[in-house]
């Protein structure tokens, strides 16, 4: 609260969610403050939110940058902007992409087998090779899910802050716009 928010929101309520685990699986606690969810793991700080308006995206970057400036000794290996799009009722012709991508394998299966879930993944890098757009498309139970990860490999908190500040890098709202453009071009739907 003291380092992420400006001005510090000392009166804000913090909700903590500690997932109950069955069978020995461990999930990390999630903290909700001012409409943002934070999950802190040994390998990652994940900031999430349900609404993806420009102000909320910018605030998430500002909060993360402030934390990294304060914790500048934190080992960093990357900064990612992640987005997920779901279409529970896609047009039938979009499923052909998944069918064609698995046809060579399905043709080798014994009679009676059919495709269940199919995931197609690609990693595309920008011209400078310092940003990777990882896209995973999944067809499962009549739904198409497309996940984007704009990955910025960095090695220090200082480099990570440059990404978060948009210093030579696209801001999160710009990457969301690019993801929506790609979705609209490939599937005719940018929502």
pLDDT at 1 over 70: no
Share of the chain above pLDDT 90, in %: 43
What is the phi-psi region of residue 2: left when phi exceeds 0, alpha when psi lies from -120 to 50, beta otherwise? Answer: alpha
Q: Which of 36-45, 130-139, 178-187 has the highest mean pLDDT?
A: 130-139
Is the confidence at residue 3, as pLDDT, over 70? no
Residue 131: pLDDT band by 50, 70, 90 thresholds? Answer: very high
For the chain, what percent of residues have pLDDT higher than 70?
87
- Show me where the domains of the chain are located: 51-187
Q: 0.75 exceeded by the pTM?
A: yes
Question: At a CB cut-off of 8 Å and minimum separation 6, what does 178 contact?
Answer: 133, 150, 170
User: In angstroms, what CA-CA distances link 11 with 5, 33, 50, 159?
Assistant: 12, 11, 22, 32
- Whether pLDDT at 161 is above 90: yes
Beta bridge partners of 143: 140
- SS3 per-residue string spanning the chain: CCCCCCCCCCCCCEEEECCCCCCCCCCCCEEEECCEEEEEECCEEEEECCCCCHHHHHHHHHHHHHHHHHCCCCCCCCEEEEEEEEECCCCHHHHHHHHHHHHHHHCCCCCCCCCCCEEEEEEEECCCCCCEEEEEEEEECCEEEEEEEEEECCCCHHHHHHHHHCCCCCCHHHHHHHHHHHHHHHHCCCC
What would the mean pLDDT of 116-145 be, rounded to a whole number?
94
Phi/psi of residue 17, nearest 5 degrees: -115, 120
What integer is the mean pLDDT of 16-39?
A: 72
CA dihedral 19, 77, 147, 170 (to 10 degrees): 130
Band (pLDDT 50/70/90 cuts) for residue 5 is: low
More confident call, 67 vs 172 = 172
- For the stretch 45-103, pLDDT in tens is 888 877 778 888 888 898 889 888 988 888 899 999 999 999 898 888 787 888 888 88
pLDDT at 191 over 50: no
């Amino acid at each position: 609260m003291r380092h992420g928010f400006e001005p510090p929101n000392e009166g804000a309520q913090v909700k903590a969610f500690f997932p109950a685990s069955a069978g020995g699986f461990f999930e990390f606690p999630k903290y909700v403050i001012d409409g943002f969810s934070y999950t802190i793991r040994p390998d990652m700080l994940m900031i999430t939110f349900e609404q993806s308006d420009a102000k909320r995206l910018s605030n998430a970057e500002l909060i993360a940058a402030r934390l990294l400036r304060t914790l500048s000794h934190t080992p960093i290996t990357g900064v990612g902007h992640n987005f997920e799009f779901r279409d529970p009722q896609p047009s039938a012709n979009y499923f052909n992409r998944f069918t064609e991508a698995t046809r060579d394998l399905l043709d080798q299966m014994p009679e009676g087998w059919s495709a269940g879930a199919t995931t197609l993944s690609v990693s595309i890098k920008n011209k400078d090779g310092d940003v990777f757009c990882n896209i995973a498309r999944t067809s499962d139970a009549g739904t198409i899910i497309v996940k984007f990860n704009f990955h910025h490999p960095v090695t220090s908190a200082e480099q990570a802050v440059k990404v978060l500040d948009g210093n030579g890098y696209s801001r999160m709202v710009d990457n969301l716009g690019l993801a929506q453009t790609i979705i609209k071009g490939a599937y005719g739907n940018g929502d």
